[in-house]
């Protein structure tokens, strides 16, 4: 399988220093294409978002907003409304992170519909990276809002048990802490695998039917791809919001 033009271009521009760095760190990169296809796709998505942000800022207008500004205002308003509903008071402070994750995932999901382009979110490395960011962020907010001991307490079960029996609370805490830590860590797997599996399967189905059937059937699957792309981006926004609400709340 021949590499995409984007992979060839990115490796031509940046491949040599990346290969040297990886080799120095003890890795064995592909000598021809040390920067993999999914990472090239990520780089393009990041550049597109940066260009859109710069264009949006330069064209901001209160009296005569353009279509792109109106569309982004709808997106920001939707994100704010979601954080208000899920997180509650103070939820809007998390809009930048949640909105950025959602926008990044959405563009990664949809860019593969362009001929000769790849879908970065069809790689587990991309989705896992996004999940790790969400995981680190909501745990950081938990420690920040409640302190180290205050945040760790909620892993030990309901605090009301201490008023019933100290020994009961200790016993349940010993059982609950490992389970809660494992459950908390599996959120990364849940976030990453859900997105990766949906986009990977969608790509495979499109490729199969594009090679077997004329235009109409592949178009149906492309429309389904768009729907799933938006849906998975929404899931990747609302689940971190839920995790933040659980971690940053003062009462667990």
Angstrom distance (rounded) from CA 206 to CA 117: 14
Residue 204 above 90 pLDDT?
no
Angstrom distance (rounded) from CA 107 to CA 141: 26
Residue appearing with tokens 């950025």: 100
pLDDT in tens, 168-193: 555 555 667 777 788 888 889 999 99
What is the pLDDT at residue 61?
87
What is the pLDDT at residue 122?
94
Element (H, E) at 75: helix 67-86
Higher-confidence residue of 176 and 30: namely 30
Residue 138 above 90 pLDDT?
yes
pTM for the full model?
0.88
DSSP labels for 7-64?
HHHHHHHHHHHHHHHHHHTT----SS-SS-HHHHHHHHHHHHHHHHHHHHHHT--SSS
What is the pLDDT at residue 237?
96
Q: What is the mean pLDDT of residues 201-217?
A: 74
Q: What is the mean pLDDT of residues 53-72?
A: 90
% of the chain residues with pLDDT over 90: 57
pLDDT in tens, 94-132: 999 999 999 999 999 999 988 889 999 999 999 999 999
């Amino acid at each position: 399988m021949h590499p995409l033009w984007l992979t060839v271009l990115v490796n031509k521009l940046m491949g040599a220093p990346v290969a040297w760095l990886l080799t120095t760190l003890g890795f064995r990169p592909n000598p021809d294409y040390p920067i993999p296809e999914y990472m090239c796709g990520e780089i393009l998505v990041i550049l597109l978002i940066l260009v859109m942000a710069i264009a949006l800022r330069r064209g901001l207008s209160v009296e005569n907003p353009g279509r792109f500004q109106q569309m982004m205002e709808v997106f920001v308003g939707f994100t704010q409304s979601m954080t208000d509903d899920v997180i509650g008071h103070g939820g809007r402070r998390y809009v930048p992170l949640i909105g950025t994750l959602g926008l990044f995932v959405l563009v990664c999901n949809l860019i593969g519909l362009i001929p000769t382009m790849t879908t970065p979110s069809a790689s587990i490395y991309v989705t896992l990276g996004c999940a790790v960011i969400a995981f680190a962020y909501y745990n950081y907010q938990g420690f920040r809002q409640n302190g180290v001991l205050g945040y760790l307490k909620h892993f030990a079960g309901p605090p009301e048990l201490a008023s019933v029996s100290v020994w009961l609370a200790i016993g349940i805490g010993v059982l609950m802490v490992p389970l809660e830590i494992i459950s908390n860590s599996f959120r990364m797997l849940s976030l990453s695998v859900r997105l990766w599996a949906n986009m990977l399967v969608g790509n495979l189905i499109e490729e199969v039917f594009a090679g077997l059937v004329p235009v109409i059937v592949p178009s149906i699957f492309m429309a389904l791809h768009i729907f799933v792309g938006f849906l998975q981006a929404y899931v990747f926004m609302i689940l971190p919001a839920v995790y933040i609400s659980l971690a940053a709340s003062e009462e667990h």
